[in-house]
Amino acid sequence: YDTELTKPCDSTACFDELHGSLGDCSCKVDTIDFFNNVKIFPRIQSIVTKDYFRFYKVNLKKECPFWADDSRCAMKYCHIKTCTKESVPGYETGYNNEYVDETPATKYSKEAQSDCKSDLDHDPQLGYLNMTISAANQYEIAKWKVHDDAHDNFCENDDRDADADYVDLTLNPERYTGYKGPSAHRIWRSIYQENCFRPKLNPYESFPYVLSSDLSNLCLEKRVFYRAISGLHTSINIHLCSKFLLSEKSLGFVAPPEGEWGPNLEEFQRRFDPSQTMGESTNWLKNLYFVYLLEMRALAKAGPYLEQEEYFTGNPTEDEETRQAISNMLGVIYSFPEHFNESSMFKGGSQVETLKNEFRDHFRNISRIMDCVGCDKCKLWGKLQTQGLGTALKILFSDKWNSPEADPSSGKLPLRHKSHKKLQRTEIVALFNAFARLSNSIRELENFRIMLSSLKETKLNVFGNVPDRKRSGEAKKEACSSGAEKPRTWS
Ligand SMILES: Cc1cc2nc3c(=O)[nH]c(=O)nc-3n(C[C@H](O)[C@H](O)[C@H](O)COP(=O)(O)OP(=O)(O)OC[C@H]3O[C@@H](n4cnc5c(N)ncnc54)[C@H](O)[C@@H]3O)c2cc1C
């Protein structure tokens, strides 16, 4: 105990101020804790183990567009295992059909035309519409569509790249990889300094890149942008603390085949104790809750559309289970009383369109920076989570999702015909998995909170400066009943 007691952060300081209002919305930290840990976490974790959500198509071989990728992570924990196409359920029958709703052979059949009205009520000759478009024009128009779609997107989409592979996410969990130092810092610095609407011109030579106190100078939209990125950063760092490499076979410990993984309390304190972070960490943690709210609101808004999806994998039983699980979770999400209110953003003033374009362009840049991450596993999860967040932002802010038929008061969009499909498979996979990561981080915070209070109590007992009741076996009983005394291990 003596050694531990000399450490700078031996208290629950990481959590002391993590209560109350989140800022920029009406919701409170404690409300989200309960809602997530009890209602959402078990549901979303089960959903992302379904085949539809396990396989993510991504190109990890894209060149970094901003600088030479000079510092690749050599640790074995950085590597990822890709899947062959044949091992992806439903690949042959369904995965590639998503952009082609009708095959040329069936498209003009009598059955396919059965919805067409009789032509007795018009003169076919006078009403003839010449639909001919030259091959050259068709080629150009196809480019317009790609351009317009891209314009609406907040991320680059890899899934049609020849170099994209399917990755089984369950085989490549997000956890500690040892990726750090200049390469990792360059990524975070670029994200914050070049793409996060910096509050001041180049004010910080080193850490932290942005001071929370400067955020009040920003307009709501820019603050939301920064907080979303910072929340994602928090989530990534919580995951590496909660699935840290505790021992390696090579070090002679008895451990599962790939080493033993579990929570590292010291690492967590180093990153999130206010005394170690110039008082910034409480805000970073709040930003995690903030981005969680943002993504949850996107799920609520797109809910009726998502409830219409097939979630096709070629296994009817599993597909039905997936649809039901999603419908069930969305029902719970609709019931959340304090959703993020995006309707106050990008309102009024002549600069709104410019700001919206900037917002989208900055985010697209961040998604491209992910190609510069020098560790494949970090890159995989970085790309997936930025694509998930980008999809959420698209749902919240792009014009296509804000059509006049939308019903903002119910927080839902109307049901749409399949041909109006607005999200691709990879976007849906990324959206749910990204939300699952945030949900998991909030749940992991609860574990760290319990571990820290348990540690604090033990130390107080050793010194004896606690009320009599606590010195007795009662205190021990309490610690045990909280289930906090034993850190979990992961394989
Ligand atoms: C896209 C990406 C994915 C990654 N994935 C993994 C992974 O899966 N596993 C793994 O082990 N490592 C991963 N890393 C590395 C990890 O995030 C850290 O960069 C690394 O552990 C070094 O940590 P650090 O203490 O130097 O601070 P960093 O996390 O690198 O942060 C740099 C500086 O940013 C500031 N900062 C920290 N957190 C926040 C926040 N939430 N909001 C605002 N500012 C903040 C602080 O001033 C800090 O000193 C990833 C890095 C990137 C860029």
107 within a domain of the structure (yes/no)? no
What's the alpha-carbon Rg for the chain, to the nearest Å? 25
245 within a domain of the structure (yes/no)? yes
For ligand 1, atom 42, name the residue with the nearest CA.
230
pLDDT for 485 beyond 50 = no
Q: Which atom of ligand 1 is nearest to the CA of 278?
A: 47
136 within a domain of the structure (yes/no)? no
pLDDT given at position 76: 64
106 within a domain of the structure (yes/no)? no
CB 247 within 8 A of CB 253: yes
pLDDT given at position 146: 65
As a whole number, mean pLDDT of residues 114-123 equals 41
Backbone dihedral region for residue 210 (phi beyond 0: left; psi -120 to 50: alpha; all else: beta): beta
* 378 flagged as catalytic: yes
pLDDT for 175 beyond 80 = yes
For ligand 1, atom 47, name the residue with the nearest CA.
208
Residues with CB under 6 A from ligand 1: 174, 176-177, 179-180, 184-185, 187-188, 207-209, 230, 233-234, 236-237, 240, 271, 284, 370, 373, 377-378, 381-382
Range of the domain at 272: 13-95+144-481
As a whole number, mean pLDDT of residues 361-370 equals 91
3-state class (DSSP) for residue 234: helix
Q: How many domains does the chain have?
A: 1
pLDDT given at position 20: 82
pLDDT given at position 72: 58
To test the pocket of ligand 1, the residue of 276, 289, 378, 389 to mutate (highest count of ligand atoms within 8 Å of its CB) is 378
Catalytic: which of 25, 78, 375, 480? Answer: 375
pTM: 0.79
Chain-wide mean pLDDT for the chain? 76
pLDDT given at position 6: 36
191 within a domain of the structure (yes/no)? yes
* 9 flagged as catalytic: no
CA distance 382 to 126: 57
Q: Which atom of ligand 1 is nearest to the CA of 285?
A: 41
Q: What ipTM is given for this predicted complex? A: 0.99
To test the pocket of ligand 1, the residue of 58, 76, 155, 179 to mutate (highest count of ligand atoms within 8 Å of its CB) is 179
Higher per-residue confidence, 422 vs 229? 229
Å from CA of 279 to ligand 1 middle: 17
240 within a domain of the structure (yes/no)? yes
Å from CA of 189 to ligand 1 middle: 10
pLDDT given at position 458: 78
323-327 CB contacts, 8 Å cutoff, 24+ apart? 325/43, 325/46, 325/47, 325/50, 326/47
125 within a domain of the structure (yes/no)? no
137 within a domain of the structure (yes/no)? no
